[in-house]
Structure 1
């Protein structure tokens, strides 16, 4: 994340630590979580969903060109900046796998996990295209297509495939077509992973007329422009009571020695 220089990925500038905590200094995105907006509106129309999906496609284009698989796409991991552009955050499951390589770690949010991850067949960049289709469905309806009472039931529903899902009428013909092409059971058949790469997604009929160049240059006007009153206005985020967790013990294990000199923690980070 610290190495990334993409307009659609939240910047990580520095990290710090003290004897009890590790801190990450991130780019501030005061528009709040996309999930919060989706929750309040119930679902998005084609225009908003198209814009949000396009921002994710640009982020994936950057990551996948560097053979990095993201593996944790969901509305909670998408932030809006003060202008309304969508940025990817939280790289806890991201991994540089190398060209043509696979990885076998079981990870991700249950509703977004691709079939090959569930079946432990190894997965690669194509797992991100599956999750892109799931994101589209959730943005257009308010909930992901595969939902069970617990993770195991969710996985069983996923393995039945996207064709077993009844699409609500509010999902347009071409949006449905794109979702189904992204959520093919076979990773090799997913749009974005074919010979045309991400260009196949950008040229799909659902994106017809979309200004990709305007988006890349951030000259396109976002469909949701958050109200941000100042550089420290956090009103677009949900507020929670302060954590009552016990203070952790000092960590003197030296696990981070290979990362170089430990920076002293600025006093303001403790508050």
Structure 2
């Protein structure tokens, strides 16, 4: 029985150039850290890339949060301790005060048409609504992107961040952790996303996915746009629940 709907953020509820956002974020953060550590900002680009890649490395066996692994990887490459209170305050301020202004230019952020209707349809159907964005950024960065989408923290019962997750999509452990946070089983969740790789759990853990991207993946239980999902959600959930009842 479906009890929760998990929404991806980037290119699902929010249209944006994600690569452009990451590039702009890293450029600004690198300038701040370079000034504090008295190193070249250019020299921090590769360590940032390695740290992001470490989070999504296949075969991870560690039990640490994505934030801790990111910080460890970055420190090993640069000697800069991102967890130091002074450095942390610097980055926190950057993410709160500067990053929200990144929506224009190369980032090209704007709400996906129908995103709020889809979120409201979830709550109206008596389902729990979660924001299951790939947890490679802080809550402050998630808040900035939610704001560009015209959505807010209170629209969701839980939001995945690199501070509360130990894996990234499509790892089944990520989805299981998120379902636990919502108080439901992963097989009681419907994932809504646009990425044919990341928004389908691996290995299969019982998660069903409604696909709002291009193409028609055979694993999807529904295909369409996020705008169409609001109207389709009650029938889709009823169909999935009937299928579960017959098992």
Query: TM-score w.r.t. structure 2 length?
Result: 0.28
